[in-house]
Structure 1
Amino acid sequence: MSEISKSPFDPITIGPLKLRNRFIKAATNEGMAKGGLVSKGLSLFHERMAEGGAALSTVAYCATSRDGRTFADQVTMERDSLTDMKAMTDAVHRHGGAISAQLTHAGSFTFLPKSELQTSKPLSSSGGFNKVGVLSNRFFKQAMNQSQMEAIAEEFVAAACLAREAGFDAVELHMGHGYLLSQFVSPVYNKRKDAYGGTIARRMKFPSEVLSRVLDAVGKDLAVLVKYSMTDGAKGGNTIADGIEIAKYLQSTGAHMAVLSNGLNVESIEAMFGSSLPKSSTKPANLLIAVGMWLQSLNAPPEVQFHENYLRENALKIREAVDLPLAYIGGAASAQGVDQIISDEFDAIAMGRALIHDPQIINRWKNGANETSGCTACNRCVTMMYLPTGTHCVLTGAQDAKLNTIPAGASS
């Protein structure tokens, strides 16, 4: 690493949590919770991140309830999973790392069949046609009323409390990418005319209430992070000016850190990944993948070419506007790229694909290696999550799929 005023290997304190360095394994859908099982495969995946040097590893898409799931193969914050969650957090702690639960409610972004949801129409900020629902014969969504907002807010609080009991060191509220809280934040989804729609202040009202309640419940014991999209990257969506205002609301509400992501899952996934999804002349065998890729292709721009730190320009605008601790995410792939992020005064570096490719690169950077990740940003790891093996890099291989069928807390 070059000589700079701060090092990515300096410790950092986020709320009540002290981390050994500034590297965070970003939440990326692992696909290793088959049938909702917190499995040995999922545990090993995050253990490898801690062993490789990441200070904090984020377990993706921990649904606040069964109705809050996007997929059936997704962790749900339920007491029945407590023993297995404890086994996973213990595994990360053995390597000196910390672990975070990304708390998510899908809202209308759910592919669950009708038999899997208690409500006839999935919840969202606004009602009407649900384009994602064509995959599950749920063509309409319902606008949440006040009592439903109260219930969902309590779901997030209960999930955060269970995360604390399970040994997690942090929780990350997902306010980006088109999930429920994002469906309030984004004008692409939020068409309300009441106190929860219209201006950015009103669109942030419910997400801010959720954040405030979670902070009150666990903020003295756990770091409370928020992941959000700086821009929606879609017509009629949030711009970077809105992204700056969102950060200001997160700061005033008391978030311990914001993770600066981008884009929406359906409308602008290239804005999230900084490169195009893989294209193939053959139709994927998994119908969910096939239809999902077709939906995304309707809005896809021409081929987007990856470049390192591709979200830096917008992230710098957020950095200039707030004092809130910020984690940069978006294509860090080399020692020089990481140095750039730190010199830009971001507090942490969140990485996804590069660590899926090789978790050990952080340790090698710490030992002075001046190397660039072998990740090619092909995004094929995104579609791997639907396979029995779960998410993995096609260049470096997968874990044993059998591990995804064994509870994390089962004896060896």
Structure 2
Amino acid sequence: MILPSTATPSPFSDVKIGPITLRNRFIKSATNEGMAKGGIVSKGLARFHEQVAEGGAALSTVAYCATSLDGRTFVDQAVLDDESLPDFRVLTDAVHKHGGAASAQITHAGSFTFLDHATLKTARPLSSSGGFNKVGVMSHRWLKKKMNRDEMDAMTAEFVGAAIKAREAGFDAVELHMGHGYLLSQFLSKIYNKRWDSYGGNIEKRLKFPREVLGRVLDTVGKDMAVIVKYSMTDGHKGNTIEDGVAIAKAIAADGAHLAVLSNGLNVESITAMFGSAFPQANRGTVGNPIIALGMWIQSLSEPKNVVFRENYLRELALRVRASVDMPLAYLGGVQSLDGAQQAMADGFECIALGRALVNDPAFVNKLQSGALAKSACTACNRCVTMMYSPNGTFCVEGKPGDAKLNIIKAGAAA
């Protein structure tokens, strides 16, 4: 068993993650901002991350930077390509201006896509396994395609190319998304991966393709950028267990990942396991996209109804991972106070990933450090999650929404 150090660091102390040093232990976790309308890197998106850096977080993670146009879940997501580089550079410059670092979460949707037939180039979305695509029911994408070796090689090249573009855009880190039911997670999860070849079966085989991607990205940019992996410790109430989550951590540690962000659950099957509190209908907000609204309604039928939020709600699972590896880990899961942050530090986690608390107040970290407050005003109502589908993008419903006009103007456009 690997025990945390007896000398507990301050959450406001600096920390080295691979080739970069962060000014403190607080990371803005990737939470889909909904501020890339039409796929542009907008002034609203850049301002959102600038405010997080200005508010004291050491690393701000830009959610869902797709590896390609086909890698998007929605059309309102940016792609790491030549066209987006100047606008991503505006965003990273804004973060750096306030002493923060920026991370690009590199993602491919796989079969978890709502792109219509006119937008998605492939006849069937790619996944670990073929057959019926339950997510595609809402967008008439009834079938998904089992990836072959050539498609895996091409996909690995997509991830590597996106990491190179992120480096050119001034990002300090990349985060490979291996959780929540996106493509790499579809290989890891026993719910999605039904293969009988060397890429399916036990967790070691299910890890094979994601590890290939990680290794290539590390080889390509790992000397210049922190290479982070975000993954789900469990799939929720079925599928991968914490034993699988521990095996994933051991594998990516052996491969040399610089940090693991410990999330939980899947977007479709177990979103409550991800957020630690129920999504009652009253808290789901109004979604203009009928496909998304239908999906949320279907999802609500199987979700637990009475899950009450508690701070540090993923602590027990995360401690199982902490006891198994000595790689740097970021605790994610409901830290909302100085006491919660200090608990994560005492538990031996190197970093603390925050989502809703920073949507509620981007200056949360500075206020904790100055003593201006000891606890977030976030109530974990989860309305900010559905607000990302609004013209304003994600915002706390107890506060003021962002300027919707900024979400349709490229970050680098003249003022």
- What range describes the TM-score normalised by the shorter chain of this pair? over 0.9
Which of 94, 98, 101 aligns to 1:95? It is: 98
What corresponds to 1:268 in structure 2? Answer: 270
282 and 150 in structure 1: CA distance in 2 versus 1, 3 angstrom threshold: closer
What corresponds to 1:256 in structure 2? Answer: 258
Aligned pair count reads 409
1:216, 1:234 → 2: CA distance?
36
1:397, 1:130 → 2: CA distance?
38
What corresponds to 2:202 in structure 1? Answer: 199
Provide the TM-score with structure 2 as the length reference. Answer: 0.97
CA deviations on 1:58-113 (whole Å, 9 max, x unpaired) are 00000000010000000111101111010010000000000000000000000000
Q: Partner of 2:230: helix, strand, or coil?
A: strand
Runs of 4+ aligned structure 1 residues displaced above 6 Å come to: none
Q: Is the 8 A contact 2:285 2:386 kept in 1?
A: no
2:104, 2:172 → 1: CA distance?
8
1:302, 1:31 → 2: CA distance?
26
Q: Is the 8 A contact 2:111 2:125 kept in 1?
A: yes
Which of 374, 377, 391 aligns to 2:377? It is: 374
Q: Is the 8 A contact 2:288 2:389 kept in 1?
A: no
Once the 2 structures are TM-superposed, how far is the Cα of residue 301 of structure 1 from its aligned partner? 1.6
Once the 2 structures are TM-superposed, how far is the Cα of residue 136 of structure 1 from its aligned partner? 1.2
What corresponds to 1:65 in structure 2? Answer: 68
Gaps of at least 5 residues in structure 2 are 1-6
1:244 equivalent in alignment to 2:242: no
2:8, 2:232 → 1: CA distance?
29
Cα RMSD between the aligned structures? 1.4
Once the 2 structures are TM-superposed, how far is the Cα of residue 177 of structure 1 from its aligned partner? 0.2
Q: Is the 8 A contact 2:285 2:387 kept in 1?
A: no
CA deviations on 1:311-359 (whole Å, 9 max, x unpaired) are 0000001000000100000000011011000010100000000000001
The residue correspondences of 1:15-94 to structure 2 (distance < 5 A) are 15-94=18-97
The residue correspondences of 1:256-335 to structure 2 (distance < 5 A) are 256-280=258-282, 284-335=287-338
2:111, 2:324 → 1: CA distance?
32
What corresponds to 2:135 in structure 1? Answer: 132
Once the 2 structures are TM-superposed, how far is the Cα of residue 234 of structure 1 from its aligned partner? 3.2
Q: Partner of 1:322: helix, strand, or coil?
A: coil
220 and 20 in structure 1: CA distance in 2 versus 1, 3 angstrom threshold: same
CA deviations on 1:134-166 (whole Å, 9 max, x unpaired) are 121110001000000000000000000000000
User: Match of 2:274, as an amino acid?
Assistant: M
Q: Is the 8 A contact 2:234 2:264 kept in 1?
A: yes
What corresponds to 1:164 in structure 2? Answer: 167
Which of 406, 409, 413 aligns to 1:406? It is: 409
Once the 2 structures are TM-superposed, how far is the Cα of residue 367 of structure 1 from its aligned partner? 1.1
Gaps of at least 5 residues in structure 1 are none
CA deviations on 1:169-221 (whole Å, 9 max, x unpaired) are 00000000000000000000000000000010000000000000000000000
Provide the TM-score with structure 1 as the length reference. Answer: 0.97
1:284, 1:170 → 2: CA distance?
32
1:324, 1:47 → 2: CA distance?
29
What corresponds to 1:356 in structure 2? Answer: 359
Indicate the percent of aligned positions where both proteins have the same amino acid: 65
1:218, 1:388 → 2: CA distance?
35
What corresponds to 1:123 in structure 2? Answer: 126
Once the 2 structures are TM-superposed, how far is the Cα of residue 297 of structure 1 from its aligned partner? 1.8
2:102, 2:331 → 1: CA distance?
18
2:412, 2:32 → 1: CA distance?
21
